[in-house]
Amino acid sequence: MNRLIPLLLALVLASVASQTLAQEQDYPNVNELPVKQSMQGVYTLAARPSLQPVRLNAMHYWVLQLTDADNAAVSNARFKIDGGMPGHGHGLPTSPAIVPGDAPGEYVLRGLRFNMSGIWELRLEIDDGDRSDKLQLLFVVEDTTGN
C-alpha cells in the first residue's frame, strides 16, 4: 500500500500541473491584453500598460479606453477596482486607482505593481451615471528580465 501512495500523489500532481498549465495558456499575457467586454455587454475596455514589457516589482500605469456598445467613447465614468491572484488567494500588492485621461473615454489606471509571476485578476465596477456594469480582466504576468 505504501508504494501506491507516490503513484496516487504523482497522478494528483499531474492533474494539478496540467490544469495549471492549461490555465496559464488560457489567459492573455499582460503585454498583449485583448479588448474586453463587460459582463452585461454595456462597455468595452482596451488597456495598454505603460511598461512594455511589464516587469515584476515595477510601479507603472495603464492607459484605458472605455467605449459603449455603440463604440462611442464613455467619459465621466467612475470606477471601483479590486483584484489579486486568484490561484493564491491574495489581493493586489498596491491600492490602484483610475483617473480621467486626456481624451474622451480615456482613463489612467495608476499605482499598479505586480510582485509575483502568474495569473492576475483585475475586477472593475464601472458606472457612468446612466449605466453600470462589471468587468473582469484575467492575465498572465511573467518575469521578463531573463528573456
Taking the complex as a whole, the smallest distance from the CB of residue 114 to other proteins amounts, in Å, to 9
Q: What is the DSSP letter of 5?
A: H
Q: What is the DSSP letter of 67?
A: E
Taking the complex as a whole, the smallest distance from the CB of residue 13 to other proteins amounts, in Å, to 6
Q: For residues 9 and 3, give the distance between their C-alpha atoms in angstroms, rounded to a whole number.
A: 11
Per-residue mark of binding to other proteins, 35-54 (x: CB under 8 A): --------------------
Under rule CB under 8 A, residue 101 binds other proteins = no
Under rule CB under 8 A, residue 81 binds other proteins = no
Q: For residues 147 and 54, give the distance between their C-alpha atoms in angstroms, rounded to a whole number.
A: 13
Looking up cell 451615471, which residue turns up?
129
Phi and psi at 82, nearest 5°, equal -150, 175
Taking the complex as a whole, the smallest distance from the CB of residue 123 to other proteins amounts, in Å, to 15
Under rule CB under 8 A, residue 10 binds other proteins = yes
Under rule CB under 8 A, residue 90 binds other proteins = yes
